[in-house]
Structure 1
Amino acid sequence: MNLRRLKYFVKIVDIGSLTQAAEVLHIAQPALSQQLITLEDEFQQQLLVRTKRGVTATEAGATLYRHAQLILRQYEQAQADVKSAGQTLSGQVSVGLAPGTGASALSLPLLRTVRARHPDILLYINENFGTTLSELIMNGRMDMAVLYGDKPVHGLSFQLLMNEELFLVAPRSMGITQEQIAVTELRDVPLLLPRPYNYLRKYVDEGFARVQMIPKVVAEIESASTLSAAVSAGIGATILPDSTARVVAAAGDVVQCRIVSPVIKIPLSVCLSDHLPLSEPAAAVKDILLELAGDLALDVRFESGADSADT
């Protein structure tokens, strides 16, 4: 098996047509068909099914397609790393940032620092849901992501950046004036939270369960702008990590209140592939992320006074 044959196979699956793939690859269709036959002989599996609409991958073909993408990406990384050895770091690095998380506070500092230290690195930032970012990393289509969670998953590894405390963010009209509020005092507070599969929601539910309570959820919102507007409009309160809570609290006539008894913390981590090595540029960007996250953690502790004993 050779890399060219894998490239041909990936292109055929991407396009879904042998004829069109041959045109894009600038190779005669009979020659491309022969390359496919050779590949199927090597694996002793049928990889594609021909239909009136074109070709689609069989189950075996879909499996090879995923591996081929990873192999080709690793080869490209190896080429770039060898070419740039001893020179200024350059190349593309993709970083996912989950919206509505502490990751949002890292985006601008990350851009500035990468530009200052490694101007030849092309940084791609993708803000998306954590589940989507995780899938992109598993498939080798993204280098890393900053999101909530720290429990190992097959295909992924997590490096903890910081633990953020959760705060209540409520419209001032609710009359909540104290700096701290016990979970038991939230029994009748209408809450705007994400769906149950969301990591933040899971930690909130677990915190309430520790005092044998269920949060009073009146709406499930996963849009940061809509959530902020809904809280400011007095529709309900929400529960957010400290870094995000401060941003929402500053944007409207709302108050921020530390949740205690129990204190609820959520881990913010760098998510990586557990089997694909990072390119040298990606490793440099990861180091910057860790550095910036350390600074953010110190800022959060200092501004929130979270060094006080848990209540």
Structure 2
Amino acid sequence: MDMEYYRNFIAIVEAGSLSAASKRVHVAQPALSNQLKLLQKKFGTQLVNIRRGVHNIELTNAGCILYNKAKYLCSLEDDTQREISDCVNGYTGTLRVSLSPSMSISFIQTYLSKFSKEYPQINYELYEVSILEQINQMLTGKTEIGVANAPLTQESRFDTIYTKQERLVAVMHKDNPWLPADDKALLLAHMEDMPICLSRGCSTLFLNVCSDSMIFPQILSINSTKLSTIAWAKENAGIAVVPASPGEIFDNDLICKIIRDDRLFLNKTLSIVKGRPLSNVAQLFLNYFSQHS
């Protein structure tokens, strides 16, 4: 049965008469009457009783059933149409992203949390992995977007949409015994006798810069993720050296100090596979990212 028949049946019931329904749905009254007869023939029973008066339609018990089911079917069709439209426009689906572990927190805080509020029907698969695994995931199609804190190898196979420098900072407990809380920045040389905790993504850069400067810090730990590195500082066991975006928010019991050295920067990049069409969800996010980055 054509869905239009159900929609027009609903209009007949709610308008109260064939003439009123005809005006509401812009269908000639004889055509509506014929549709009603076809419905009654299909279901093999009287659906309405027509009596005199302005509102002259009275539902039978069978008509009540059809009215409620027709409302459900039309609602289901409307929902389906809306969901398909949202899918086509990228408003539903899954956004799959590979991230360097040190980038995930700031990426969620700065972009994904706000994006999810604008498009609540989208869900996410985030993979916090090494640069080599990011490359593998994107090339195999497991993810569509890569957010890295170092240049991707096989650069010719990727389009870099965005590049930004992130400064390495020292994060420590506000009650730490090594540095006064009121100093906003520190020199690399000041860190030589302090227990240093490094995020693996920035450890090579930090140690190379220290070596070039003939500075030999005490390395307490090297951690896979930025979060685990900062956990040492939160417990007041050491000073965490991690990349941070401007204005990044840390816990209230932590303070963040800039390390005064122009070599301590990492390049943050957002990349996609060159020549590969993006899903609608990924394209929607890239449009959002370009407007807010």
TM-score of Structure 1 vs Structure 2, range by shorter chain: 0.5 to 0.7
- What's the counterpart of residue 291 of structure 2? 291
Q: 1:168 to 1:284 in 2, by over 3 A?
A: same
Q: What's the counterpart of residue 46 of structure 2?
A: none
Residue of structure 2 in register with 1:173 after alignment:
176
> CA RMSD, aligned part only?
3.1
Partner residue, 1:261: 261
1:187 equivalent to 2:192? Answer yes
Post-superposition offset of 1:92: 4.2
Instruction: Determine if contact 1:191/1:218 at 8 Å carries over to the other structure.
Output: yes
Distance 1:138 1:205, change over 3 A: farther
Contact conserved, 2:102 with 2:199, CA < 8 A, in 1? no
Residue in 2 that maps onto 1:134: 135
* d(CA) in 2 for partners of 1:263, 1:180: 15
Aligned residue identity for 2:191 = L
Deviation at 1:134, TM superposition (A): 2.9
How big is the shift at 1:112? 2.0
- Cα 1:175–1:212 change in 2 (3 A) is closer
What amino acid is aligned across from residue 140 of structure 2 in structure 1?
A: N
- What is the CA–CA distance in structure 2 between the aligned matches of 1:267 and 1:183, rounded to whole Å? 20
Q: Could you say what secondary structure the match of 1:136 adopts?
A: helix
Give 1:209 shift.
Answer: 3.8
Cross-structure match for 1:104: 108
Give me the whole-angstrom Cα distance separating, in 1, the residues matched to 2:215 and 2:160: 30
Contact 1:161 1:290 in 2 (8 A): no
Residue in structure 1 matched with residue 210 of structure 2 by the alignment? 208
- CA 1:152/1:204 → structure 2, altered by over 3 Å: closer, same or farther? same
Q: Residues 219 and 244 from structure 1, CA distance in 2 versus in 1: closer, same or farther, beyond 3 angstroms? A: farther
**1:191: how far off?**
0.7
Q: Does the Cα contact within 8 Å between 2:176 and 2:236 map onto a contact in 1? A: yes
Does structure 2 conserve the Cα–Cα contact (< 8 Å) formed by 1:96 and 1:144?
A: yes
CA distance in 2, matches of 1:193, 1:124: 28
> Residues 98 and 129 of structure 2 are in contact (CA less than 8 Å); yes or no, is this contact kept in structure 1?
no
CA offset digits 1:226-271 (Å, max 9, x no partner): 43332122221111223399444x243x321111133522122112
Q: Is the 8 A contact 1:160 1:269 kept in 2?
A: yes
C-alpha spacing 1:235/1:243, structure 2 compared with 1 (3 Å): same
The 1:234/1:92 distance shift into structure 2, 3 A limit, reads: closer
The answer to whether the aligner puts 1:240 opposite 2:245 as a matched pair is: no
Local SS of the residue matching 1:150: coil
Distance 2:100 2:152 in 1: 17
Give the whole-Å Cα distance in 2 for the aligned partners of 1:130 and 1:181: 30
Name the SS for the 2:151 alignment partner: coil
Gapped regions of structure 2 (runs ≥ 5): 1-83
8 Å contact from structure 2 (residues 89, 280) kept in 1: no
Tell whether 2:150 aligns with 1:145. Answer: no
2: CA distance between counterparts of 1:140 and 1:149?
Answer: 21
Q: 1:287 to 1:212 in 2, by over 3 A?
A: farther
SS in 2 for 1:100: helix
Shift of 1:103: 1.7
What secondary structure, in the 3-state scheme, does the structure 2 residue paired with 1:145 have? strand
- Larger Rg, first or second structure (1 or 2): 2
- Worse overlay, 225-234 or 134-143: 225-234
Q: Percent identity?
A: 13
Question: CA 1:288–1:137 in structure 2 vs 1: closer, same or farther (change >3 Å)?
Answer: same
Is the contact between residue 171 and residue 241 of structure 2 (CA under 8 Å) also seen in structure 1?
yes
Alignment of structure 1 residues 14-53 onto 2, 5 Å: none
Per-residue CA deviation, residues 152-174 of structure 1 (Å, 9 max, x unaligned), is 53543433342121111123322
Letter in 2 for 1:163: Q
User: Conserved in 2, the CA contact under 8 Å of 1:100 and 1:244?
Assistant: no
Amino acid at match of 2:287: D
Residue 204 of structure 1 aligns to a residue whose secondary structure is: helix
Structure 1: state its 5+ residue gaps. Answer: 1-82, 295-311
